[in-house]
Amino acid sequence: MILAVSGRTDIVAFYMSWFMKRYEEGFLDVRNPFNPKLVNRIGFEDVDLIFFTTKNPKNLINNIKKIKHPIYVHVTLTGYGNDIETYVPNKDEIIEDIIKVSKIIGPDRIVVRYDPIFISDKYTAKYHVKMFNRLCERLDGYVNKYLISFLDEYKNVIKNKNILKYKTMSEDDYRTIGEGFVEAVKKHNATVQTCFEERDLTEFGFIKGDCLSKELAYHLTGKTFKGTWKARKGNLCNCIPMVDVAAYNTCLHFCKYCYANYDEKEVRRNIHYHDENSSLLLGNLEDDDVIKYRKD
């Protein structure tokens, strides 16, 4: 089993103490978002890999060595300001923490995601190339793989359209980003690829690949996995299936493009239901909950 920690919220940034308590106790519970009375119980003895995704890796630094499972880390880091990423920490601090994590687990187990990319009067294609170049320069030798994706019109994105002020990307925009990003990674012995996008930019030198392919999963775990994560963007995603351990509307970064947060008022309500000592990220088990032990 691959544990995704997490696509629904930033557990590393906001709920790492809860996760480490669950890890020490040996299991955690996850409510089914579509059937809240159904709870999946996951024992860490059934976990083959923990796939951390975060915008702030600081809480990994002192906890990684406590985790005995194989670890893979994605850190999302873009050039946007706090008009778009409201409560994301200082980017220089994030870069320093990426370097610290890389020194612990090695550059092959940490990936930086520059995503999602959108174009506006403020955030032009040339702007993104400039910021990506700076990023690659700072992380030279510590990160050898970068991922990008383009903005999707999720519910939250449409709601924040007047803030994002995004434009339809032109062919010149794709070319500027494609050529500029490839030139940047070549200078620093790294690679760049898109994340399940129809426009994969391979014509400009992007590599063709998945975030967590069967081959990469085998390399990280020594185990063969079947199936692909078809729930994500139809047939565009060929990553192996993962189990997300979090809940929607619980991330306090409040990024204006987020798909997992779509109601900031609900986020602020939900955080009051978080109990570090609960087996669930939000709330506690109830008498009429149905617990299903998940093995894969």
Pairs from 199-207 (Cβ < 8 Å, separation ≥ 24): 199/150, 199/174, 201/174, 201/177, 203/178, 204/175, 204/178, 204/179, 205/178, 205/179, 206/178, 206/181, 206/182
Number of domains, the chain: 1
Q: Are 195 and 207 in contact (CB under 8 A)?
A: no
Q: Residue 164 burial (CB < 10 Å; 0-12/13-18/19+)?
A: buried
For residue 28, what are the β-bridge partners?
42
Rg (alpha carbons) of the chain, rounded to whole number: 19
Which residues are 3's β-sheet partners? 50, 243
What pLDDT was estimated at residue 155?
85
- State the sign of the Cα–Cα–Cα–Cα dihedral 114, 117, 123, 129: positive
Q: What is the reported pLDDT for 89?
A: 94
For residues 94 and 110, give the distance between their C-alpha atoms in angstroms, rounded to a whole number: 13
Domain interval for residue 19: 2-294
Cα dihedral 257, 259, 261, 262 in deg (nearest 10):
90
pLDDT at residue number 236: 62
Check if the beta carbon of residue 46 is closer than 8 Å to that of residue 1.
yes
Question: Can you list the residues of the chain whose pLDDT is less than 70?
Answer: 228-237
Question: The whole model's pTM is what?
Answer: 0.95
Predicted local confidence at residue 248, as pLDDT: 92
Pairing assessment for the beta strands 27-32 and 35-43 based on DSSP bridges: antiparallel
